[in-house]
Amino acid sequence: MEDCKQHHLAKNDSPEVLPSLIKVITAHEVAGFDAVKQPDDVNDRFKSNGFHSSDLSPKGTETVCVEGQNDLSNSQRMQFVSISMPPSPVGVHLHNTKRGVFEYNDRAIISNDIPRSAVASKNNRQTKFYSQPIPKGPVVNEAIASGKSPKDPGLPPKNPRIDVHKDKRFDSFKTWSGKLEGQISNLRGKHRETEVDLETQRPAEVEILPADRYFDALEGPELDTLRASEEILLPKDKKWPFLLRFPISSFGICLGISSQAIMWKTLATSASTRFLHVNPDINLVLWCSSLALVAIISFIYCLKVIFYFEAVSREYYHPVRVNFFFAPWIALLFLALGVPPSVSQKLHQSLWYILMAPVFCLELKIYGQWMLGGQRRLSKVANPSSHLSIVGNFVGALLGASMGLKEGPMFLFAVGLAHYVVLFVTLYQRLPTNVTLPKDLHPVFFLFVAAPSVASMAWARIQGSFDYGARIAYFIALFLYFSLAVRVNFFRGFRFSLAWWAYTFPMTGAAIATIRYSVVVTNIVTKSLTVVLCAVATLTVASVLVTTIIHAFVLGDLFPNDIAIAISESRPKPSVKWFHKRNASSDNKNGEKFLKCSNSEGKDIVAASVLKDVENSHSHKVLETLILPVIL
């Protein structure tokens, strides 16, 4: 080892020394490696394509060749790790990775444990080789990164200089990610280059992920759990910026609280519940707090829109999250409905038009997509959260009717009813093409109750009395509620998320509808039903509140990393073909994953994937695995 080093030093001192093709240098000696560097150095490092090992400049000993990555990912040729023979940086970071395939010409060198000396000694035998392009950019990054921080195996495609430019990784999610420098576009390789170039050159454009991509990459009733085989664009184990972690479903809190405000107002003012002697101040308190919440959450989300527009657009194209874009406007409508009598007795009619305009525009877009748009056909994207896009119509109709308008509310009611029928049938069918419906019960199913209960109230207001149409809708809501309530013990085992707030408002809505019904049909049954449903609704909101507080302050994971928006544009290509697997390390599952993943695509071995796999292992054990380049 030492003589190698001396050799190197000698080389540095006296250029006329025999050019050592093999240099073993530590990471610290490699310019730009493991240290904060000038951008251009890094650029050069990543821009170099093939190069002869005889290139002796420190820069030239770049191991990474990112050129041709694109070809490689598509090609059927053999793919090699570019471990350039001055394995300098590679050798260095290989000491963590322990594995390498050195391809040159058409001979493969299999090396097991490769300490630097071994590398040096082995490589002494070769005089010439070509460093081949590396197949996978991310692998390179990881390879490089491993030298720096093995604990950070995440996929930082945006910036190799993790220590200084940590947040650059989130640049692609920022608005005008064109601030990315050119080097980063090279980093990702050609096929990503174009994409990143697009990002850099046309910063205003956002990539639209097709709906299929979301379904492929995510699973779960809220489509927020990453599938095992998928990768995300942002580091998994690092806490992302707060704004990136703030989902649109946070507006569910506003929905929950403001609907409670309406319920307590109705309880205080209805004739049939006078026996309860409800204090109207409860409504005032709830209303003010929901007003504050709406303001705060809207402000934060506005910040997200300003600073992380790409993330917002990814949420918009998410099949479940898109429905939550109705939530802010529904919350505002609830606020208008629940306004305490002490604050304002009558609201101006123009307020209704102002509040309904965004809902109307959104639903023009979304319903049109169901019927006419390309990929987002209803049979595929329908999920219980789609009820949120329907409920807005009924809530708007209810508000308009309470303000005294006639035609506008009826318009919205008609549109909502027609689309509700379509959605209801689709969800009940549980079509095989519809993968978002969870097999187990999940609180999202309570959204089924929302639309008929609000529709019954809206129709009653429009018609002026709780007539047959309203009663029919109310009974449907009641039936759905009971059919879910008797299955309450199946609602288990789901991770809490902020969207659960949104699922509390249907219960509150059913309670309010029951109050209205009991005003018309006053007897002991309806009164007791009122009390029971209101109690259940209040209890649910209280428990969700407690859970939220626990998660926020005790557990600290109220806003986990929002995986759902960070999925990659394309499925990661499983390009490793393992021939043997000896020495199953503790991180074997990665290897097995590749084993399973390697399918007919595998025409070549990509040892880079090996590197990646090893990289993922947090142990520094050497994987004694035999890899052979196999061309099938």
Partner 1 sequence: MEQKESQVPQLKLLVLTISAKFHAGYFRISLSLCSQALLWKTLDEPSDDVHAFRQVLRLLPYAVFVLLWSLALLSLVSLSLIYLLRCFLHFEMVKNEFLHRVGVNYLFAPWISWLLLLQATPFFTAKTVHYFVLWWAFIVPILALDIKIYGQYFTKGKRLLSGTANPTSQLSVIGNLAGARAAAEMGWRESAICMFALGMTHYLVLFVTLYQRLKGSNSVPHMLRPVFFLFLAAPSMASLAWDSISGNFDSSSKMLFFLSLFLFLSLVCRPTLFKKSMKKFNVTWWAYSFPLTLMAIASTKYAQQVKNSTAHVLMLLLSAISVLVSLVLMVLTALNTNLLLPADDDHIQSHASPSCSLEIIV
Stretch binding partner 1 (CB under 8 A), from 147-155, 337-345, 374-382, 482-490: 374-382
Decide whether 110 or 422 has the Cβ nearer to partner 1. 422
Decide whether 70 or 436 has the Cβ nearer to partner 1. 436
* Rounded Cα distance, 263 and 119, in Å: 74
Please tell me what DSSP assigns to residue 375.
S
* Rounded Cα distance, 175 and 186, in Å: 20
How many residues contact partner 1, by CB under 8 A? 29
Count the neighbouring beta carbons within 10 Å of the beta carbon of residue 495.
11
Count the neighbouring beta carbons within 10 Å of the beta carbon of residue 332.
22
Decide whether 6 or 379 has the Cβ nearer to partner 1. 379
Quick check: 102 binds partner 1 (CB under 8 A)? no
Q: Coil, strand or helix: which one is 328?
A: helix
**Site residues (CB under 8 A) for partner 1, limited to 428-457:** 431, 433
Quick check: 208 binds partner 1 (CB under 8 A)? no
Quick check: 372 binds partner 1 (CB under 8 A)? yes
Q: What ranges make up the beta strands (E) of 189-339?
A: 218-219, 225-226
Residue 631: HSE in the Cβ half-sphere, 13 Å Cα cutoff: 8
Quick check: 370 binds partner 1 (CB under 8 A)? yes
Burial of residue 464 (CB within 10 Å: 0-12, 13-18, 19+) is exposed
Decide whether 17 or 364 has the Cβ nearer to partner 1. 364
Q: Exactly one of 240, 334, 367, 445 binds partner 1 (CB under 8 A); which one?
A: 367
The vertex-626 CA angle with 595 and 191, nearest 5°, equals: 55
* Rounded Cα distance, 6 and 26, in Å: 12
The vertex-191 CA angle with 190 and 197, nearest 5°, equals: 75
Decide whether 420 or 501 has the Cβ nearer to partner 1. 420
* Rounded Cα distance, 390 and 415, in Å: 9
Quick check: 379 binds partner 1 (CB under 8 A)? yes
Stretch binding partner 1 (CB under 8 A), from 30-38, 255-263, 273-281, 425-433: 425-433
Stretch binding partner 1 (CB under 8 A), from 99-107, 124-132, 361-369, 501-509: 361-369
Please tell me what DSSP assigns to residue 322.
G
Q: Exactly one of 188, 419, 516, 577 binds partner 1 (CB under 8 A); which one?
A: 419
Residue with tokens 């009971």: 482
* Rounded Cα distance, 622 and 417, in Å: 64
Beta strand pairing call for 218-219 and 107-111: unpaired
Decide whether 68 or 392 has the Cβ nearer to partner 1. 392
Decide whether 283 or 426 has the Cβ nearer to partner 1. 426
Q: Exactly one of 377, 571, 593, 621 binds partner 1 (CB under 8 A); which one?
A: 377
Quick check: 364 binds partner 1 (CB under 8 A)? yes
Decide whether 71 or 216 has the Cβ nearer to partner 1. 216
* Rounded Cα distance, 498 and 437, in Å: 19
Quick check: 301 binds partner 1 (CB under 8 A)? no
* Rounded Cα distance, 223 and 221, in Å: 6
* Rounded Cα distance, 135 and 7, in Å: 31
- Smallest distance from partner 1 to CB 454, Å: 17
Quick check: 417 binds partner 1 (CB under 8 A)? yes
The residues near 533 (Cβ < 8 Å, ≥ 6 apart) are: 507, 510, 511, 514
Decide whether 187 or 382 has the Cβ nearer to partner 1. 382
Quick check: 357 binds partner 1 (CB under 8 A)? no
Quick check: 413 binds partner 1 (CB under 8 A)? yes
- Smallest distance from partner 1 to CB 62, Å: 47
- Smallest distance from partner 1 to CB 363, Å: 9
Q: Exactly one of 176, 316, 411, 494 binds partner 1 (CB under 8 A); which one?
A: 411
Indicate the Cα dihedral angle 340, 341, 345, 350, nearest 10°. Answer: 10
Q: Exactly one of 1, 357, 421, 626 binds partner 1 (CB under 8 A); which one?
A: 421
Q: Exactly one of 285, 292, 296, 418 binds partner 1 (CB under 8 A); which one?
A: 418
Binding mask 380-399 for partner 1 (x = CB under 8 A): x-x-----------------
Which tokens hold the place of 484?
């879910």
Q: Exactly one of 31, 422, 536, 563 binds partner 1 (CB under 8 A); which one?
A: 422
Q: Where are the alpha helices (DSSP H) in 550-621?
A: 588-597, 607-616
List Cα–Cα distances, 405 to 90, 323, 400, 458, 620, in angstroms: 73, 27, 5, 12, 71
Which tokens hold the place of 464?
């002026």
Count the neighbouring beta carbons within 10 Å of the beta carbon of residue 628.
13
Q: Exactly one of 101, 211, 336, 378 binds partner 1 (CB under 8 A); which one?
A: 378
- Residues forming beta bridges with residue 101, ordered by sequence position: 110
Q: Exactly one of 407, 439, 492, 553 binds partner 1 (CB under 8 A); which one?
A: 407
Calculate Rg over the CA atoms of the chain: 30
Q: Exactly one of 26, 96, 126, 463 binds partner 1 (CB under 8 A); which one?
A: 463
Which tokens hold the place of 243?
């704004």
Q: Are 274 and 171 in contact (CB under 8 A)?
A: no
Q: Exactly one of 425, 525, 539, 552 binds partner 1 (CB under 8 A); which one?
A: 425
- Smallest distance from partner 1 to CB 323, Å: 16
- Smallest distance from partner 1 to CB 199, Å: 25
Stretch binding partner 1 (CB under 8 A), from 120-128, 180-188, 317-325, 408-416: 408-416
- Smallest distance from partner 1 to CB 429, Å: 8
- Smallest distance from partner 1 to CB 210, Å: 15
Stretch binding partner 1 (CB under 8 A), from 137-145, 280-288, 370-378, 612-620: 370-378
The binding site for partner 1 (CB under 8 A) comprises: 364-365, 367-368, 370-372, 377-380, 382, 407, 410-411, 413-415, 417-419, 421-422, 425-426, 431, 433, 462-463
